[in-house]
Chain A
Amino acid sequence: MSERIALEVREDGIAILRMQDRDKKNLFSDDFIHELVTAVERAEEARPKVLVLAGLEDVFAAGAEKKNLMDLCDGTVHVKDLVISEKLVHAPFPVIAAMEGHAVGGGLVMAACCDMVIGARESRYGVVFMGLGFTPGMGCTKLLQGLVGNQIANEMMFTAKRFRGSELAGMNVSFNYIVPRAEVMPKAMSIAMQIAEKNIDSIYLLKYALSAEKKKLLIEARVQEDFMHRLSFGFPETRRTIEEFYAGG
């Protein structure tokens, strides 16, 4: 397994997938996406009872790389990171997002694809797409509502604001827990251990039933978001906005 993505499958049925690209801070470069998807596939082969998805201490996942956004403006490529949402939503086991660090853009959409989500008070969570001039992707327009509720999802998408975990804790969002950073992993592991006590076949059955809605939403989102991207990446000011205000690595 590469250094960027580490997968550990424990004897008790808990798998831990850690995104740890320290150089690029878990930005979705092409290689990163490929390795992440491969790691999820390897986890599927191991048939764990539950997967804990973690990132770096300061960054859970940072979303699209600037180069890829510029390529999208040029119209030379199509959005590739949707495959991450597909993989997570279609995972046959429950997935817990343990977000010690920030989750921004597609990084937060990853959490919205998961079954349970734990955030850190010190970290920031937001979908910055519109701040860079283009419309949200990766299933954000249909899945974010499940994570933070309709109205807050609207606020997040229209304003592109990165909310501090401590701020979200006082809002009515659907994170399971928002705790101090050091408590994120212990909390995730505690939930995972409770799930790991259960019968694997029933876990997979329940996951299949519970994931049906998200799979449907993701198909709907893909059609709409793809259409909006064709327009919004073509707006002349989008390129300039990315150039001036992109905040990733």
Chain B
Amino acid sequence: MTRDEVVEVIKRNILDNLEDLDENNIDPDKSMKDYGANSLDIIEVVSCSMRELNIKIPRTELADVKTIGQLADKFMEQIGK
């Protein structure tokens, strides 16, 4: 799976979990918070995406992730294992 595909999975879950968003407007260099996501929205997007990608990363290891792109990078590390 490529990084772009992982970003697509995350984007789709952002759309599923937040209201009134357009996929084309989601920039991977931004944080989900920039799109109005609260802390529990983010947890839900992350767990839905991990479930879809069949990976499991402890919450503590994701604490320093700031942007959607960085989240995709973390996921890629796990997918590569």
Interface residues in chain A, defined as those with a beta carbon under 8 Å from any beta carbon in chain B:
58, 102, 104, 121-124, 161-162, 164, 166, 243-247
The listed residue (B17, B19, B38, B43) touching A247 by CB distance below 8 A is B43
Q: A164 touching B41 by the CB < 8 A rule?
A: yes
**Interface pairs (19), CB distance under 8 Å:** A58-B38, A102-B40, A104-B40, A122-B38, A123-B38, A123-B40, A124-B38, A124-B40, A124-B41, A124-B44, A162-B44, A164-B41, A166-B19, A243-B58, A244-B59, A246-B59, A247-B40, A247-B43, A247-B59
In the A-B complex, the 6 residue pairs with the smallest Cβ-Cβ separation, listed nearest first, are A244-B58, A124-B40, A162-B40, A102-B40, A247-B43, A245-B59
Which B positions have Cβ atoms within 8 angstroms of A? 17, 19, 38-41, 43-44, 58-60
Q: Which residues of the partner chain B approach A123 to less than 8 Å between Cβ atoms? A: 38, 40
State the total of A-B contacts with C-beta under 8 angstroms: 31
**What is the interface of chain B mostly: helix, strand, loop, or mixed?**
helix
Q: Which residue of A lies closest to B19 (CB)?
A: A166
Q: How far is the CA of A174 from the CA of B59 in the complex (A)?
A: 32
A124 contact set on B, CB distance < 8 A: 38, 40-41, 44
Chain B residues whose CB sits within 8 angstroms of the CB of A243 once the complex forms = 58
Q: List 18 extra interface pairs beyond A124-B40, A162-B44, A247-B59, CB under 8 A.
A: A58-B38, A102-B40, A104-B40, A121-B19, A123-B38, A123-B40, A124-B38, A124-B44, A161-B44, A162-B40, A162-B43, A164-B41, A164-B44, A166-B19, A243-B58, A244-B59, A246-B59, A247-B39
A247 to B43, CA, bound (A): 8
